[in-house]
Amino acid sequence: MKERFHSSQTDRGGIVGFRPAGRSAAGLTLRRFHPCAALRPYVQCLWQARGQASSEAAGVELLHPDGAAGLLFNFGGVLERDGERVGGAYWVDGPKRRTARLAVGSELDLLGIRFLPGMAFPFVGEALSALAGGELTSGDALRRLELETLHERLWQAPGLAGRLALLEEYLLGRLRDAEPVPLGLVSSLGWLQRHQGQVSIATLVDELPFGQRRLERLFQHHMGLSPKRYARLLRVARSRELIKQGGSATSLTETAFTAGYFDQAHFIHDFKAVTGLTPGGYRDHVRRRYG
pLDDT digits (tens, 9 = 90+) for 68-95: 999 999 999 999 999 999 999 999 999 9
Contact between 186 and 85 (Cβ < 8 Å): no
Distance (Å, rounded) from C-alpha 192 to C-alpha 278? 24
Is pLDDT of 54 > 60? no
Give the domain 15-176 fold: Jelly Rolls (2.60.120)
Contact between 43 and 115 (Cβ < 8 Å): yes
Contact between 69 and 93 (Cβ < 8 Å): yes
Q: Which CATH architecture has domain 183-290?
A: Orthogonal Bundle (1.10)
Is pLDDT of 5 > 90? no
Q: How confident is the model at residue 143 (pLDDT cuts 50, 70, 90)?
A: confident
Is pLDDT of 11 > 90? no
**Residue 15: per-residue pLDDT:** 38
Residue intervals in the chain for CATH 1.10.10.60 = 183-290
Residue intervals in the chain for CATH 2.60.120.10 = 15-176
Is pLDDT of 223 > 50? yes
Element (H, E) at 139: none
Q: Using the 8-state DSSP alphabet, how is residue 196 labeled?
A: T
Pairing of strands 28-33, 43-51: antiparallel
**Residue 4: per-residue pLDDT:** 55
**Residue 25: per-residue pLDDT:** 38
Closest CA relative to residue 107, chosen from 88, 80, 143 = 80
Query: Range with the lowest mean pLDDT among 34-43, 242-251, 252-261, 270-279?
Result: 242-251
Closest CA relative to residue 93, chosen from 123, 119, 116, 113 = 113
> Higher-confidence residue: 9 or 126?
126
Where residue 181 falls (left for φ over 0; alpha for ψ -120 to 50; beta otherwise) is beta
- As a whole number, the mean pLDDT across the chain is 88
Judged by DSSP in three states, 118 sits in coil
Residues in the chain: 291
Segments in 2-158 forming alpha helices (H) = 121-124, 147-156
pLDDT in tens, 19-41: 333 333 337 889 999 999 999 99
